A and B are shown apart, each in its own frame.
Chain A
Amino acid sequence: MSAAAQRGLEIRGLVKEYQPGKPVLRGLDLDVAAEGITAVIGPSGTGKSTLIRCINRLVEPTAGEIRLHGQALTGLRGRALRLARRRIGMVFQEYNLVERLSVMENVLCGRLGYTPLWRAWLRRYPPADIERAFDLLDAVGLSEHAPRRADALSGGQRQRVGIARALMQGPDLLLADEPTSSLDPKTAVEVLELLVRLTGAARVPVILNIHNVELARRFAQRIIGMAGGVIVFDGPPEALEPGHLRLIYGGEDWL
């Protein structure tokens, strides 16, 4: 059992206060296995994004401990933090691509933690990385768009590039922060299907923040319901009932 706990992500007593005395996360405990999709649902402002950003330390936790495969992420600084971040991919709601760079170079950006600076500067990326980037672009169906600038793509295409960039890192964990909220319903499903398929093939566990409860049910093996900075539901999609949704989102008129 301890070997199982070593793999995957462990969060213990995570607290985040943006303003002292007003915690957004109130002592969160969570274990995520080394495989599968874990969807986090909950109303806006309940700390879903904060939770995900505490894991790769884009947001500094106030208290608590986070471990990835047994390594403590909290407390890492400088170079050690960078090396840890290389193992964690992230997909953003607003894609966060570098608009004026080509699709190919955006995917290669996922390897910047490994690429010497002079290579990135002269655009002499290692051939193995370019090969892998082409494979990933094949996988997300955008190979023929490789030389186009990222700002020439549609929203769905951009998010596919975002997924390819995150997988380019060869991550041990993928964080997806509302990856489909800026997309239309059809594209959202297509992008999520792609995300699930590629991370499944690469055996990368995913923590997926998502507003859409139906999509969460459809794609996740496990659903975490958050409300008021704590976890109020944790279980498989089948176990999520209207009562839980009332607990998570409050009220019932909308159900």
Chain B
Amino acid sequence: MSATSIPDPAAPLRREWRRFTPAQRLSRWLVWLVVVAALAWAVRSIDIIPEFLADAPEQMADLLVRMWPPDLAHYYPAVHAALIETLHIATLGTILAFALAVPVALLAARNVCPLRPLNVLAQFILVASRSVNSLVWALIFVAIFGPGAAAGTFAIAFRSVGFVGKLLSEALEETAPGPAEALRAAGAPWGAVMLKGFWPQVQPAFWGVALFRWDINVRESAVLGLVGAGGIGVVLDDAINYFQWDRVATVLLAILAVVVVAEVVVTRIRARLI
């Protein structure tokens, strides 16, 4: 009867195991609290205008009716030429981005460049590049080069440097140290260690990143024309400004087609490569 009140003599000997310490449990709980609070705050700060929300379905239906049927005759030559220009912007921008990103990635990788201040500087460059949206880069380069494809190419390149450089420096840091050590032990100079020790290990990542970024850049360069940086966005902007919604539909379909084709091509090449 009173068995429950008798303290278990073996209690001090019983060992307990928990996944987390009390401090860890508390901090995990706090993280969840912060996440929920941030979500609630974000929802409250979006201003939803009730009148606009109310007739949103009507507006959308109206827009679709105006777009249909698409003015396919408009495709050639105006949209076609702009589309080709978009592809040129994406391709040249990606190549330029790699030319800029490779040296920065080498400086950012701690196993390649042992100087901490240079690592930090390179990482800062990469973050700075990524923190600016490509539309903002485009506005800057339109101011420098004037409107046109040159501004678009540079905008694409500068936005891509951060992305490409970060992924390349991570690929460099994930390489096995053994092969490079063996080459160093054989008296190979720095360039040879890079070429034969590091490059074969990062090669799949390099081409994977190149294709993926090109794929992203095709999509990004489609909107750069909205700020005058060349490509198909210019045609899209014009059509919207003149309320030629059937032409807008043609442009949107052309962009969709290019993105789908790019996706298929990139997936095929990646499968061959890796």
Residue-wise, chain A 92-119 has the 8 Å CB interface mask toward B (1 for contact) of 1011111111000100011011010100
Binds B, one of A25-33, A82-90, A130-138: A82-90
Interface size on B (CB < 8 Å)?
A: 21
In the complex, whether A254 has a CB less than 8 A from a CB of chain B is: no
Closest to A149 in B: B200
- Asked if B187 contacts A101 (CB within 8 A), the reply is no
Check A128 for interface membership: any CB of B closer than 8 A: no
Task: Report yes or no: A85 in contact with B191, Cβ–Cβ below 8 A.
Answer: no
Decide if B178 touches A92 in the complex (CB within 8 Å): yes
Quick one: CB contact mask for B92-123 with A, threshold 8 Å, 1 for yes? 00000000000000000000000000000000
- The answer to whether B186 and A165 touch across the interface, beta carbons within 8 angstroms, is yes
Partner of A98, one of B184, B185, B187, B196: B196
Do residues B188 and A112 form an inter-chain contact, with CB atoms below 8 A? Answer: yes
Interface centre among B181, B188, B193 (most CB of A within 10 A): B188
Say how far A160's CB is from chain B's closest CB, in angstroms.
Answer: 15
Q: How far is the CA of A82 from the CA of B186 in the complex (A)?
A: 8
B182, A82: Cβ atoms closer than 8 Å: no
Which residue of chain B is the closest to A171 with respect to CB atoms?
Answer: B186
Q: Is B240 located at the chain interface by the 8 A CB criterion?
A: no
Report whether B187 and A85 are in contact in the complex, using a CB–CB cutoff of 8 Å.
yes
CB-nearest residue of chain B to A79: B189
Q: Are A96 and B192 closer than 8 Å at their CB atoms?
A: no
In the complex, which residues 174-203 of chain B have their Cβ closer than 8 Å to any Cβ of chain A?
A: 176, 178-179, 181-189, 191-193, 195-197, 200-201, 203
B186 touches A86 (CB 8 A): yes
Determine the chain A residues whose CB is within 8 A of the CB of B188 once the complex forms.
82, 109, 112-113
Give which listed residue, A95, A100, A169, contacts B187 with CB less than 8 A.
A169
User: With A99-B200, A112-B196 known to touch, is A117 a contact of B189 (CB < 8 Å)?
Assistant: yes
User: B194 CB to closest chain A CB, in angstroms?
Assistant: 9
B186-231 contacts to A, CB under 8 A, are 186-189, 191-193, 195-197, 200-201, 203
Q: Which residues of A contact B197 (CB under 8 A)?
A: 98
How far in angstroms is the closest Cβ of chain A from B249?
48
Total residue contacts A-B, CB cutoff 8 A: 82
List residues of chain A with CB within 8 A of the CB of B182: 90, 92, 96-97, 109, 162, 165
Instruction: Specify which chain B residues have a CB less than 8 angstroms from the CB of A89 in the assembled complex.
Output: 186
Give the chain A neighbours of B178 by CB distance below 8 A.
92, 94-96
Task: Give the residue name and chain of the A residue nearest to B201 (CB).
Answer: A100
Residues of A within 8 A of B203 (CB): 100
Closest chain A CB from B176 CB (angstroms): 8
Assess the B189–A82 pair: CB atoms within 8 A.
yes
Whether A117 lies near B191 (C-beta < 8 A) is yes
Cβ–Cβ < 8 Å partners of A120 in chain B: 192, 195-196
Inter-chain contact A101/B196, CB cutoff 8 Å: yes
With A85-B187, A112-B188, A113-B189 known as contacts, the answer to whether A98 contacts B179 (CB < 8 A) is yes
B 163-178 to A, binary, CB cutoff 8 A, 1 in contact else 0: 0000000000000101
**Cβ contact within 8 Å between A98 and B200:** yes
Neighbouring B residues of A82 by C-beta, 8 Å: 187-189
Q: List 10 A-B contacts (CB under 8 A).
A: A83-B187, A96-B178, A97-B179, A100-B200, A100-B203, A105-B196, A113-B189, A115-B192, A117-B191, A120-B195
Q: B residues near A, CB below 8 A?
A: 176, 178-179, 181-189, 191-193, 195-197, 200-201, 203
Instruction: Using A84-B187, A120-B192 as known contacts, list a sample of 10 further A-B pairs with CB atoms less than 8 Å apart, ordered by residue number in A.
Output: A58-B181, A58-B184, A85-B185, A96-B181, A98-B200, A109-B183, A112-B186, A113-B188, A117-B192, A120-B195
A-B pairs, 7 with minimum CB distance: A113-B187, A86-B187, A112-B188, A96-B178, A85-B187, A96-B182, A100-B200
